Amino acid sequence: MKRGRGGQETLAAGGPARHIPVLLDEVLKALAVREGGLYLDGTFGAGGYTQAILETPGTRVLALDRDPDAIAAGQELVAKYRGRLMLERARFSTCADVAERLGLRRFDGATFDIGVSSMQLDQAARGFSFRFEGPLDMRMEQAGRSAANIVNEASEEEIADILYHYGEERASRRIARAIVHDRNTKPFTTTRDLAELIGRLLPSKATEIHPATRTFQGLRIAVNDELGELVMALAGAERILAPGGRLAVVSFHSLEDRIVKQFLALRSGRGRARSRLLPGEPVPPPPTFTLEGKQPVGAGPRETRDNPRARSARLRAAIRTDAAAQGVDPAVRALSSLPANHSRGR
């Protein structure tokens, strides 16, 4: 899909970018698209991956997006492909449920492109980017708790935890303390309000990333429960893929990639020797995926030159076995949540 996403260096800051499908050739290779196949694009965006899949004759695609703007913009593609593209407004975590509702089974491939899209970043009114002044929003679905709600209503501890765990911001406690202090005088309503506060707290050189980048990342992930959505989407793909079906996941920062890596390691049995079980230790379930080749796959020099936001992109892929789906693993789910208790004193 034409998402032109970026990593930690540019993800929050945004800025105008062409909507270039990241790692498109690598994703198509991983999916091994075949004529007449049925595929899932769980993060439709501008439809770049979907269109590339539909170029193969007879293919069908179920595409999902939680953003109503993406669904509205995609109706032209729905008409163009005349029944071969089914575009649904839904979270990609619900992919298995949506497929069941539509009577679709045994997908030949599924792909997810995780995170915010460049279209969302480039719209000031969506509040994802501090490059443009806009409402402090960040809601992909345009409904529910916004970034402004978190900043103005959450406790200092919760804000610090969000910034530290989801934004990987070392100065999380200091920023949270300043937010709580300043909101008593004037609530934060715009992206500029928050970015300027952080800029005063954490001065940076012109050559460095903006000091608010990690804070915006953390808030965006919390607002949209992006890591929790990813955990559920991976389990959903496991349910709907046919034996031999292929999974391709593109992520853009370490938090996402860690979840995908752990899921595939557990599901493929990597590092686990069934013949070396201790007495009384239960036999683990058979692997639901197999892995091929060296992973993750990154963008090459030409793509990173043409699309700087591809610099941090990482592709992990796997092939479904005929073993029964295992559902959500508690160890993987734990990677998506804020730790229950921590004290940082930052």
Q: According to the model, what pLDDT value does residue 15 have?
A: 35
pLDDT-based confidence at residue 83 (cuts at 50, 70, 90)? very high
Greater confidence, 345 or 313?
Answer: 313
Range name among 3-7, 60-64, 168-172, 342-346 with the lowest pLDDT average? 3-7
Average pLDDT, the chain: 87
Judge whether residue 343 has pLDDT over 80: no
pLDDT: which is higher, 234 or 275: 234
Over residues 114-135, the pLDDT tens digits come to 966 555 445 444 445 556 678 9
pLDDT score recorded for residue 136? 93
Task: For residue range 96-109, list pLDDT tens digits in order.
Answer: 999 999 999 999 99
Instruction: Write down all domains in the chain, each with its CATH number in brackets.
Output: 1-346 (3.40.50.150)
| 177 vs 309 pLDDT, higher one | 177
pLDDT in tens, 276-285: 666 777 778 8
Residue 292 has pLDDT above 90, yes or no: no
Summarize pLDDT for 44-65 with one digit per residue, the tens: 998 999 999 999 999 999 999 9
**pLDDT score at 341:** 58
More confident residue, 112 or 204: 112
The pLDDT assigned to 283 comes to 77
Residue 12 confidence (pLDDT) above 50 = no
pLDDT band at 210 (very low <50, low <70, confident <90, very high): confident
pLDDT tens-digit profile of 300-340? 999 999 888 788 999 999 999 999 999 999 999 999 999 87
- The whole-angstrom separation of Cα 88 and Cα 61 is 11
